[in-house]
Amino acid sequence: MTSRSWVAGLKALMRSFFAAGLISAVCISPAGAEEKAMERTITVSATGTAEAEPDQARITSGVSTEATSAREALTRNSADMSRVISELKSKGVDARDIQTASFNVEPVYEYPKEGGQPSIRGYRVSNQVVVLVRDLNKLGEVLDNIVSAGANQIQGLVFEVSKAETLKDDARKEAIGNALRRAKLLAAAAGAEIGPVIQISEEYSSNAPMPAAAPRFAKAEMSVPIERGTSTLEARVTATWVLK
């Protein structure tokens, strides 16, 4: 074969490969055109609230005792605390509604006026319980009983709604309604419409109310006035809708 014929044959072979490449490119081009476009969505968070009247309360109360020795402080504190617990049970508070919250034994230091190292002058023992009062009509009476029995500390009073989870459903519905309203508003401002919802999530957090401050009592002279008020239950949701 001459060099001229060999070159002609090579050119013909390259043309056939090139043609095959064009055919291949034409075959795969439609597949790329059919790729799905990115879905447009909108995500909004909103809250809802519901009002409920508390129907129970928790009292954090206890006895703090000081003595020159830890053993003496512990003995006296145990006797006083046992009297408080016995008084509560005798007045109708169920044992399951009385729970020890904290117990501490700590030294009590005396600091010299002229400076220098402090010295231990005694020990303090503190024992606190949380009492669940299921009948709020008896709450003032229970507070009286606690103080009269010897408790010298009342650290907090917290009102609760026993069926808060069920009553919170109204707050959840309101939260979804608020989220949908905001989503429609934002979508319309952007020239779009709201399509079907594709995701809903609820944010969970501790909704335990803060305890009300309460003074320390030495003696109960009268029934404690109590106002239960109302509690606000809050729900927060995040929802995602398709944009049309």
pLDDT in tens, 37-55: 678 999 999 999 999 999 9
Q: What is the mean pLDDT of the chain?
A: 83
**In contact, 226 and 140? CB cutoff 8 Å:** yes
Distance CA 242, CA 45 (A): 15
- pLDDT above 90: percentage of residues in the chain: 65
**228 pLDDT band (50/70/90 cuts)?**
confident
Q: Which domains does the chain have, with CATH numbers?
A: 39-54+162-213+225-244 (3.30.110.170), 56-160 (3.30.70.2970)
Specify the residue for token string 């408080």: 84
Which pLDDT score, from 0 to 100, does residue 230 have?
87
DSSP summary character for residue 75: H
Give strand pairing partners of 108. 122
**208 pLDDT band (50/70/90 cuts)?**
very low
Which residues does 171 contact at the CB level (< 8 Å), separation at least 6?
47, 48, 49, 50, 233, 234, 235
Give this prediction's pTM.
0.65
| Statement: residue 117 has pLDDT above 70 | yes
Distance CA 140, CA 147 (A): 11
**What mean pLDDT do residues 140-166 have?**
92
Over residues 12-24, the pLDDT tens digits come to 655 654 444 443 4
The DSSP element (H or E) to which 94 belongs, if any, is none
The first and second tokens of residue 27, run together, are 């075959």
Specify the residue for token string 């109204």: 170
The DSSP element (H or E) to which 190 belongs, if any, is none
Report, in angstroms and rounded to the nearest whole number, the Rg of the chain calculated over CA atoms: 37
| Statement: residue 6 has pLDDT above 60 | no
Nearest alpha-carbon partner for 148 in 65, 80, 59, 211: 80
Which pLDDT score, from 0 to 100, does residue 7 have?
52
**128 pLDDT band (50/70/90 cuts)?**
very high
**In contact, 158 and 57? CB cutoff 8 Å:** yes
The DSSP element (H or E) to which 178 belongs, if any, is helix 169-189
Distance CA 117, CA 120 (A): 10
**84 pLDDT band (50/70/90 cuts)?**
very high
Give strand pairing partners of 109. 120
| Statement: residue 10 has pLDDT above 90 | no
Q: Assign 47 to helix, strand or coil.
A: strand
**What mean pLDDT do residues 122-132 have?**
96
Which residues does 142 contact at the CB level (< 8 Å), separation at least 6?
59, 88, 91, 93, 131, 133
